[in-house]
């Protein structure tokens, strides 16, 4: 009861606050890749390897592929060798660089060796014991830092104390939607490429994400405690698959943010890359090996949260689990004017509270739809039939003061990826 009372007071005091940093709208020019752990912090330990070594190898390969394919992207590593970097310093590095994206790479573990799968986290309050345990495990590096109790960056945070996690209730981030979008793209890629359990997109109180001021995710590339997955994530082929997934997700996210076409036939000059197989994949589906936007329920655990909110007539969620959406407000129109084509809306606003028509937060926009899961989310009622029209609509919304407004594609009332939207409309 005491913890709930403190939590209520904390939420009341900071209601409406937003922790954000101004960055260039619609640009993905600086990405920070964070290999978890390092130095005296090995992370999870398998029978043959340590997490810090596995994720460093994957991170360096991913950075190389991004550099090989994007001359306009500056890749920054929080570490490139086996050194110890504090969680607070990792976030500071990204903030100082005014990064457009932060990607932290980790490997999972569990006392039960049969546990397996891939999952991706965004910052938020855990809604399950399992998610909280992941947070505790990843935050535990703080305890290995010298004099961490006197480090002002941690504000007395103790990863093992449940009461300490109340501080995360103060967290509100203007980039939560973009973080969720990127996380979903990663999980879609994993599902299409890696033969393991898709554990979905989740929220957890991860300190390294809590301190970053840009879209940020933490991805767990497999269970090092599972002998089969440990072998896979240590192999050249396994790491190439993981890098392939992370790069494709990054490329699609970048294209969506900048309103450009996703790169085709990227260069993958890393060990373990099956060039013949990837060429076949590219012929089928440009970069993405297969349709990653189907809403067929996964046979694995359902995702804990919903990615960016769907339009009013949506019937499910594109991702690892199919879900019925909550009821929406009455100010609605059909999710698509042409049932056989993909369409685009612009999401421009989120709010913890339902906003009344004409509220100042709308900045004069009166034609919109809204949905609610954990937040109320507002999208344009007006739709665009192609990406060029969507960019014009996006600019119109941005000129009204919504600088972080972004494009969301739909097909038959369901949110889909940009790649699939292009394929659908090209085939019509």
Is 23 domain-assigned?
A: yes
Asked if residue 380 belongs to a domain, the reply is: yes
**Rounded to the nearest 5°, which phi and psi values hold at 125?**
-80, 130
Over residues 348-358, the mean pLDDT reads 84
Check pLDDT > 80 for residue 352.
no
Model pTM? 0.60
Number of domains the chain contains: 2
Average pLDDT, the chain: 75
Q: Averaged over 240-251, what is the pLDDT?
A: 97
Assess whether 357 and 209 both reside in one domain: no
DSSP string, 250-293: HHHHHHHHHT-PPP-S----STT--HHHHHHHHHHHTTSSS---
* 279, pLDDT greater than 60: no
Give the percent of the chain with pLDDT over 90: 35
| pLDDT given at position 315 | 30
Q: Say if residue 246 is in the same domain as residue 347.
A: no
- Among residues 226, 250, 274, which one ends one of the domains? 250
Q: Does any domain span residue 375?
A: yes
Q: Give residue 314's pLDDT.
A: 32
- Mean of the pLDDT values across residues 99-115? 94
Q: What does the pLDDT look like over 158-190, one tens digit per residue?
A: 555 554 444 554 444 567 888 889 999 999 999
Please check whether residue 258 lies inside any domain of the structure: no
| Residue 83 within a domain | yes
Asked, for residue 309, whether it belongs to a domain, the answer is no
- Is residue 242 located within the same domain as residue 349? no
Q: Give the percent of the chain with pLDDT over 70.
A: 66
Give yes or no: residues 246 and 371 share one domain.
no
194 has a pLDDT exceeding 50:
yes
Regarding whether 367 and 228 lie in a shared domain, the answer is no
Question: Is residue 131 scored above 70 in pLDDT?
Answer: no
Out of 203, 224, 250, a domain closes at 250
Q: Are 347 and 376 in contact (CB under 8 A)?
A: no
Whether residue 20 is predicted with pLDDT greater than 50 in this model: the reply is no
What per-residue confidence (pLDDT) applies to 304?
38
Domain that holds residue 422: 343-427
Pairing mode, strands 343-351 and 368-372 = unpaired
User: What is the mean pLDDT of the segment spanning 301-311?
Assistant: 34
In a domain, 255, yes or no: no
221 with 352, same domain: the answer is no
Residue 311 lies in a domain: no
Backbone phi, psi, residue 351, to 5°: -155, 145
Q: Are 291 and 414 in contact (CB under 8 A)?
A: no
Place 334 in a pLDDT band, splitting at 50, 70 and 90: very low
Co-location of 243 and 347 in the same domain: no
The CATH number of residue 64's host domain is 3.40.630.40
Select the highest-mean-pLDDT range: 179-188, 221-230, 417-426. Answer: 221-230
pLDDT reading at 198 higher than 70: yes
- The tens digit of pLDDT for each residue in 49-78 reads 999 999 999 999 999 999 999 999 999 999
Are residues 112 and 224 located together in one domain of the fold? yes
**Where among 229, 250, 271 does a domain terminate?**
250
Q: For 34-56, how does the pLDDT look when each residue is reduced to its tens digit (9 = 90+)?
A: 999 999 989 999 999 999 999 99
d(CA 305, CA 415): 15
């Amino acid at each position: 009861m005491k913890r709930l009372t403190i939590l209520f007071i904390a939420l009341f005091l900071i209601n409406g606050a937003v922790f954000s940093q101004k960055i260039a709208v619609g640009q993905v020019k600086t990405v920070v890749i964070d290999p978890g752990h390092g130095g005296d912090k090995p992370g999870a330990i398998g029978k043959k390897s340590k997490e810090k070594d596995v994720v460093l190898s994957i991170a360096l390969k991913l950075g190389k592929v991004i550099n090989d394919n994007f001359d306009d992207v500056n890749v920054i590593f929080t570490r490139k060798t086996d050194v110890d970097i504090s969680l607070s310093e990792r976030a500071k590095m990204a903030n100082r660089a005014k990064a457009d994206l932060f990607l932290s790479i980790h490997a999972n573990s569990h006392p039960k060796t049969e546990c397996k799968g891939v999952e991706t986290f965004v910052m938020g309050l855990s809604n399950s014991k399992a998610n909280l345990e992941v947070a505790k495990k990843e935050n535990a590096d703080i305890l290995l830092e010298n004099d961490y109790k006197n480090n002002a960056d941690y504000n007395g945070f103790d990863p093992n104390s449940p009461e300490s996690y109340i501080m995360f209730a103060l967290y509100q981030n203007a980039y939560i939607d973009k973080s969720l979008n990127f996380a979903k793209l990663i999980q879609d890629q994993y599902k299409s490429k890696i033969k393991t359990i898709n554990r979905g997109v989740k929220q957890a109180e991860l300190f390294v994400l809590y301190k970053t001021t840009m879209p940020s995710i933490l991805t767990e590339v497999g269970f090092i405690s599972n002998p089969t997955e440990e072998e896979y994530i240590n192999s050249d082929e396994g790491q190439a698959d993981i890098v392939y997934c992370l790069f494709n997700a990054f490329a699609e996210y970048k294209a969506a943010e900048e309103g450009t076409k996703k790169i085709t036939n990227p260069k993958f000059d890393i060990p373990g890359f099956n060039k013949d197989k990837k060429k076949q994949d590219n012929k089928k589906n440009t970069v993405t090996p297969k349709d990653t936007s189907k809403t067929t329920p996964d046979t694995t655990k359902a995702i804990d949260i919903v990615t960016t909110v769907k339009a009013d007539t949506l019937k499910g969620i594109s991702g690892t689990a199919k879900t019925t959406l909550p009821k929406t407000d009455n100010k609605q129109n059909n999710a698509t004017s042409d049932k056989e084509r993909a369409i685009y809306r612009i999401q421009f606003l989120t709010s913890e509270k339902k906003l009344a028509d004409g509220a100042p937060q709308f900045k004069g926009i009166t034609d919109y739809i809204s949905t609610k899961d954990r937040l109320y989310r507002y999208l344009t009622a007006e739709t665009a039939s192609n990406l060029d029209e969507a960019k014009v609509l996006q600019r119109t919304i941005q000129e009204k003061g919504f600088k972080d407004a972004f494009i969301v594609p739909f097909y038959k009332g369901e949110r889909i990826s940009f790649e699939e939207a292009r394929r659908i409309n090209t085939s019509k």
